[in-house]
Amino acid sequence: MALFDLFKKTPPPPSGPYRDEATNRIYQMLFCDDIELYRSSQSEPHLYPFDILLSENSDIADLQKVIDDSTTETRAKILAYYLQMLRGHRPAGKELLGVIVEVGLDGGLDTLAAYSDQTARYINYTGSMVVWENPEDASGGQLIRDLFEKSRDIVSKIGPWDNPRKPHPAKGIVRISFLVSDGLYFGEGPIQVLFNDPMANPALTSATTLMQFLTSMATKNRS
């Protein structure tokens, strides 16, 4: 191999559905199932709750303190539940903590994530992003609560996925994932099929309304 052939190598494929690796990283972190992503984003010394979440010495009781703390953000609680399960403990109850809707479009993947603390993230297929951190907003809060109400109905009728999380859905496929205290639940199918499904439609319709609200608020703030 000639020396300059080293510069002709094909670059590695992106680690997610977006062209920008920083956006892929944020996308992967939405699911709260890879503690190493959070470890590399936290500076030391780790502050609470990451002093517990990132410690190899934390036990089930330590993680439960994070879960029971009403001031802790939802994504930290999801991580705590996930780490408990890695340590062999599965909660008896089913607390819905996050809902993520992914839609494979011609141009890429649209991703909406909403959490029980009334926060949300929307990543457009282009890679542009909306971060919603305004739980006091009545309109946004009501839309998220409505999505969760519709989603709980689905969770009550399906079981958890016990295998590793699947790669992002392909073009033409919609997937709705539920981050529950006892694991990951999801359903997926062709866009038209799932949007017309009697069980999935109410949640997907609520998610669409929330996405439209977030994009309209982002446009309003920019102007």
Q: Output the pLDDT for position 6.
A: 45
Distance, in Å, from the CA atom of 64 to the CA atom of 45, rounded to the nearest integer, reads: 21
Q: Output the pLDDT for position 135.
A: 77
Q: Output the pLDDT for position 222.
A: 74
Q: Output the pLDDT for position 14.
A: 57
| Domain ranges across the chain | 21-86, 96-222
Q: Output the pLDDT for position 219.
A: 82
pLDDT confidence of 7, banded at 50, 70, 90? very low
Q: Output the pLDDT for position 223.
A: 61
Q: Judge whether residue 204 has pLDDT over 60.
A: yes
Amino acid identity of 193? V
